[in-house]
Amino acid sequence: MKKSKLLTLIVFIFLLIYIFPLLWMIISSFKSNLEILTQKLFPSKLNFENYSYIFKQSGVLRWFLNSSFISLISTFGVVVITILAAYPLGRLKFRGNKFLFYLTLAGIMIPLQAIMIPRYLLLRDLGLLNKYWGLIIPYMVNPMNILIVAQFFKGIPNEFEEAARIDGASDLYILFRVMVPLARPALAAISVFSFVGIWNDFLWPLIVMTDQKMYTLPVGLATFYGSYTMKYGVTMAGNVIASLPIFIFFMIFQEQLIKGLTVGGLKE
Amino acid sequence: MKKRTLNGYLFFLPFGLLYAVFLIYPLIQGFRMAFYEWDLFSEPKFIGLQNFSTMFNDPVFWRTLWHTIYFVILTVPFLLILGFLIAVLLNSKIYFGRVFRTLFFFPYVLSITIVCSTWGFLYQPQFGIISKILKAVGINYTGWLLNPSTAMPAIALTTIWWTLGFSVILYLAGLQEISPTIYEAAAIDGANSFQKTFLITVPLLRRTHALVLVLQTIASLQIFGQVYIMTGGGPNGATRVLIQYIYDQGFRYFKMGYAQAMALFFFVIMFAVGIIQFRLMLREGSDRD
């Protein structure tokens, strides 16, 4: 069947409207304050004032580094913990296997908002408020990822494992040398998906980090914007800066991200 | 055989420990706290069911609960219908299909701060572009986030824009599972593309509809950040939602017990919706085996 030019045009027009807020954000970030107040459509020249302002006046660089560190370490932790826990659930037959599976499954029923207060108090008692680990450790607990990877492990044919077992391989060897390489697509999907979720999280860093040096990028920018409500050019410049890394990340990993969404059918 | 059991538990242990400490323990504590009066500074005092009776008699609680449900009603139907239509369009025979898909999906990965502050600028009464465009077509309305009757719809529109890509991706995955032979057979019987879409595709995607419905409902019930950033709950409390009320009672006014009682109520709602999600997931698993 031939591709339709008319249909392409319809989708294209709709898409233009759809991404207009982003185009407007980029254009406005180069406008002077006067050009925004007078509702000029385009800036008269590329004006980087807003960008230099936000770098000087806010902790945007520090927040970016905080977010990067927290997201990277948490994602690494999530993947390691997920691999270890998914293996017995998906592959090993032992007493209690079913129990652990249902225990993990029950975990996806607990919304963070329902336990945010007791969890905050727990972190306070552990001395983890305003600490990177106060975000990182709780982020590592993600039952949904385990169910996805366990399901994937389950689907791997037995021959791979048996060949290694005959050679006398241990469970640990089989997990990391046989299962993990075969499950790479699923693991890539959950890593990318976890990374984006942690990078964008708002509620939890808002609760745990009260020292502005420790803010993550979303919380830091929201707080900064809150105190400069009329400087929209600066706000848009901040948004462009904050979108850029996630845009690059998205371009590289979008296939894995989509797989993560459709396999789990989940959302934070 | 014994060693296998030991290994099973050992592998599970790192997750099991964190799970117990950071999910199960707070959950149990949460259930206890709801029966106490506690301001963080003095000793917790056991007051039985008093927090719950306060809650059921608190008009603000009911109002914020209604605002939350109102938000779900404003967002979820559009996330279903628009998500489906865009996915069908993207899945049809068009040029640049993959590029379009990428661009439709991109807003979903932006952080809530970027999305809400950009839309706050669009809605701005004096120099926001939306008011300007509407003025050009003769509509003089500027009060989007400032008027109690349009503030929540405005936040809903922002959220639909933000998370529509997620619905589209789920629908695209569903569409790809439909065998093309069904459409070929329908074409032989003389079905046009409108009939094909609404008489074949819509009913065949029953499970995807259910999935999108449940997941987007869960997401919308959790609304907090959008309101926190865009209106702060205003104007006049018109957009204040349940999570925000819990957050304020807990972290601003230090009514830990009361906040936790409401959090438990929220947990019950989410649990009910979660059971449906549960059944969907288990069914999906058995289909694949």
Question: CA-CA distance, B178 to A59, in Å (whole number)?
Answer: 50
Chain A partners of B105 at a C-beta cutoff of 8 Å?
254, 258
Q: How far is B19 from chain A (nearest CA, A)?
A: 6
User: In a 3-state reduction of DSSP, which class is residue B147?
Assistant: coil
Q: Quick check: B222 contacting A, CB < 8 Å?
A: yes
- Number of folded domains in chain A? 1
Query: Does residue A176 sit within a domain?
Result: yes
Rounded to a whole number of angstroms, the distance from the CA of A198 to the nearest CA of chain B is 10
Which conformational region is residue B69 in: left (phi greater than 0), alpha (psi within -120 to 50 degrees), or beta?
alpha
Contact between B94 and B88 under an 8 Å Cβ cutoff? The reply is: no
Rounded to the nearest angstrom, the gap between the alpha carbon of residue A214 and the centroid of all alpha carbons in its chain is 18
A198-216 pLDDT, tens digit per residue, is: 999 999 999 999 999 999 9
**Residue B288 confidence (pLDDT):** 40
Tell me the percentage of chain A whose pLDDT exceeds 70.
Answer: 96
Residue spans of the domains in chain B: they are 75-225, 241-289
Q: What is the pLDDT of residues A174-194, one digit of tens each?
A: 889 889 998 888 898 889 889
> What class is the B75-225 domain?
mainly alpha
Q: What is the mean pLDDT of chain B?
A: 89
Distance from CA of B172 to the nearest CA of A (A): 9
Do the domain assignments include residue A56? yes
B145 touches chain A (CB under 8 A): no
Dihedral over alpha carbons A229, A232, A233, A235 (to 10 degrees): 70
Kind plus residue range of the DSSP H or E element containing B36: strand B36-37
A2 in a structural domain: no
Each residue of B238-260: pLDDT tens digit?
A: 999 999 999 999 999 999 999 99
User: What tens digit of pLDDT does each residue of A29-46 get?
Assistant: 998 888 888 778 888 888
Residues A95 and B190: their CA atoms lie apart, in Å, by 58
Enclosing domain of residue A74: 27-34+47-264
Q: Which of B118, B250, B260 sits opposite A25 (nearest CB)?
A: B118
**B111 contacts A117? CB cut-off 8 A:** no
Residue A100 in domain: yes
Sort out which chain A residues have CB atoms less than 8 A from B102's CB and list them: 251, 254
B93 burial via Cβ count (<10 Å: 0-12, 13-18, 19+): exposed
Report pLDDT for A266.
43
Distance CA B245, CA B219 (A): 17
Alpha-carbon gap: B143 to the closest alpha carbon of chain A (Å): 16
Q: Name which of A185, A179, A160 is nearest A84 in CA terms.
A: A179
Contact B223, B159 (CB under 8 A): yes
Q: Cβ of B26 and A199 within 8 Å?
A: no
Structure tokens at A47: 């004006």
Nearest-CA neighbor of B222 among B241, B238, B248?
B241
In this predicted structure, the answer to whether residue A166 has a pLDDT above a threshold of 60 is yes
Nearest Cα residue to B120 out of B149, B161, B82: B161
- Mutation target for B interface from A26, A40, A112, A115: give the one with most B CBs within 10 A: A115
Q: Give domain status of residue A7, yes or no.
A: no
